C-alpha cells in the first residue's frame, strides 16, 4: 500500500510500504477515507535530521473498518470510524479517569511498528477502545468536521476546558492556526463572554470571527499586550489559551492574563522552560493544559458536529490526494495553507 514517509527536514515522500494487516486479536484494519497534516507534523518536517531510512508519519484519520480481530466487539466491516491521535484500550485506570493519552496499554501512531495515519490503510491496535463509530456514510459532507475530532478540535476544547472557560469568562486565544481557531470555537461553545483572538493572518482571523471571536488583535509582542490590556480595561482576560508552542507566545500569555487567571497551553510546546518568575507567582496565575486526551471528548463533541451546530472542518482550506501530500506539507510550512485535508 502507499503511505507517507519522512526522511528528513523538508523530505516527505509517498512510497510503497508493507500492507496493513491484523497482528493481534484486539486489532482492526481500517481503510483510510480522510486524513490530514497536523501542525505538529511541521516540527519534524522542519528539523528532522536526514537519514537513509524513512519513518511513517500522520496521526489523524477516519476510515472504514475492513476487518477486525476475534477480541474486537461493537465494530464490524463497513463501519465508518474516527481514530483519536493516540490509541488506547479505554479501560485501564488512566483511561477511566479520562486520560487516554497515558493508557497503560496504548501508544502513538507511526511508532514502534504501528502504521501512520497518512496512508491508504492502518492497523489499529486496541481497536475496541480506540475507534469511535460514526453514524454517517463515507460520502457524507460532514467528513471534514468529523475528522477534526481526531485531534485538532478536541485539542482546542481541552485548552478551553483546562483553563476553566465558561459563561461570564473572558478569553484570549494566542495563535490563528487550526488549534487556535478550534480553541475559539470551543470557547464560544462553552459560553465565553468575550474572546480576543491574537493573530495576524486576515483570512484566518476572519474564520476566527465566524467561530466566535469578538475581537482580533493583529499586533505582536509589547504592542499586542498593550492592545489586549486596552480592550480589557487594563486587567487582561480571565483565561488565556496558548496555541502556538513558542516561547514568545507563553510570555505574551502571562502578560495578558488577569491577576488570579489561568493560562492553558496545548499543542507541542517547543521550549523547555516556562518563564514563570516571582512576578507571575505573585499574581496567582495558574498554568495548565497539556496533551489533549481526545478520546475523552469525542462523544461530547460529536452531536454538535453531526447536527451542524459546529463546523470545525472549516479549518481545512486545501485538499490533496495521497500523491500530493509533499505539496501539502510545503503549503502548510510556508503558511499558504491553514490545514491540509488528505483524500487517499
Q: In whole angstroms, give the CA distance from residue 91 to residue 60.
A: 22
Task: Give kind and range of the element (H or E) at residue 124.
Answer: strand 121-124
What pLDDT shows up at residue 133? 98
Burial 208-221 (b: 16+ CB within 10 A, else e): beebbbbbbbeebe
Alpha carbon 280 to its chain centroid, in Å, reads 28
What pLDDT shows up at residue 271? 84
Alpha carbon 193 to its chain centroid, in Å, reads 24
User: Which of 18-22, 106-110, 243-247 has the least mean pLDDT?
Assistant: 243-247
Residue 231 has pLDDT above 90, yes or no: yes
Q: What is the pLDDT of residues 199-227, one digit of tens each?
A: 999 999 999 999 999 999 999 999 999 99
**DSSP string over 160-214:** HHHHT--TT-EEEEE--SHHHHHHHHHHHHTT-SEEEEE---HHHHHHHHHHT-S
Alpha carbon 47 to its chain centroid, in Å, reads 20
- pTM to 2 decimal places: 0.96
Q: In whole angstroms, give the CA distance from residue 140 to residue 130.
A: 22
Residue 270 has pLDDT above 90, yes or no: no
Q: Residue 198 phi/psi, 5° resolution? A: -95, 110
What pLDDT shows up at residue 245? 85
Spatial contact of 35 and 3, defined as CB atoms under 8 Å apart = no
C-alpha cell at 63: 476510515
Q: In whole angstroms, give the CA distance from residue 30 to residue 154.
A: 22
Per-residue pLDDT band at 244 (split at 50, 70, 90): confident
Spatial contact of 41 and 57, defined as CB atoms under 8 Å apart = yes
Q: Residue 270 phi/psi, 5° resolution? A: -110, 30
* Maximum separation of any 2 CA atoms in the chain, in Å: 62
Q: What is the pLDDT of residues 128-167, one digit of tens each?
A: 999 999 999 999 999 999 999 999 999 999 999 999 999 9
167: left (phi over 0), alpha (psi -120 to 50) or beta: beta
Q: In whole angstroms, give the CA distance from residue 314 to residue 284.
A: 37
Amino acid at each position: 500500500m502507499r503511505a507517507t514517509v519522512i526522511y528528513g527536514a523538508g523530505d516527505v515522500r509517498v512510497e510503497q510500504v508493507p500492507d496493513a494487516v491484523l497482528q493481534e486479536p484486539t486489532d482492526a484494519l481500517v481503510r483510510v477515507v480522510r486524513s490530514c497534516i497536523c501542525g505538529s507534523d511541521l516540527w519534524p518536517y522542519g528539523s528532522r535530521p536526514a537519514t537513509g531510512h524513512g519513518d511513517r508519519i500522520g496521526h489523524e484519520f477516519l476510515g472504514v473498518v475492513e476487518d477486525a480481530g476475534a477480541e474486537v466487539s461493537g465494530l464490524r466491516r463497513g463501519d465508518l470510524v474516527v481514530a483519536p491521535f493516540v490509541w488506547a484500550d479505554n479501560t485501564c485506570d488512566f483511561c477511566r479517569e479520562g486520560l487516554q493519552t497515558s493508557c497503560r496499554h496504548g501508544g502513538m501512531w507511526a511508532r514502534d511498528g504501528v502504521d501512520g495515519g497518512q496512508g491508504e490503510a492502518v492497523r489499529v491496535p486496541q481497536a475496541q477502545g480506540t475507534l469511535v463509530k460514526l453514524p454517517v456514510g463515507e460520502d457524507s459532507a460532514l467528513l471534514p468536521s468529523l475528522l477534526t475530532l481526531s485531534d485538532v478540535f478536541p485539542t482546542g476544547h481541552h485548552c478551553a476546558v483546562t483553563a476553566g472557560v465558561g459563561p461570564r469568562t473572558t478569553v484570549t486565544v494566542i495563535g490563528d492556526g487550526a488549534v487556535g481557531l478550534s480553541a475559539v470555537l470551543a470557547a464560544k461553545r462553552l459560553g465565553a463572554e468575550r474572546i480576543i483572538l491574537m493573530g495576524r493572518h486576515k483570512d484566518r482571523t476572519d474564520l476566527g470571527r465566524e467561530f466566535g471571536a469578538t475581537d482580533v488583535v493583529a499586533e505582536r509582542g509589547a504592542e499586542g499586550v498593550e492592545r489586549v490590556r486596552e480592550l480589557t480595561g487594563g486587567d487582561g482576560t480571565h483565561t488565556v489559551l496558548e496555541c502556538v508552542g513558542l516561547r514568545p507566545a507563553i510570555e505574551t500569555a502571562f502578560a495578558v492574563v488577569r491577576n488570579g487567571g489561568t493560562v492553558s497551553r496545548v499543542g507541542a510546546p517547543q521550549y523547555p522552560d516556562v518563564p514563570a518568575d516571582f512576578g507571575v507567582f505573585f499574581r496567582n496565575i495558574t498554568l495548565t493544559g497539556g496533551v489533549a486526551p481526545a478520546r475523552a471528548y469525542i462523544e461530547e463533541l460529536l452531536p454538535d458536529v453531526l447536527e451542524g451546530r459546529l463546523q470545525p472542518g472549516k479549518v481545512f482550506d486545501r485538499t490533496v490526494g495521497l500523491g500530493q501530500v509533499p505539496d501539502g506539507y510545503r503549503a502548510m510550512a510556508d503558511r499558504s495553507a491553514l490545514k491540509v485535508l488528505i483524500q487517499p
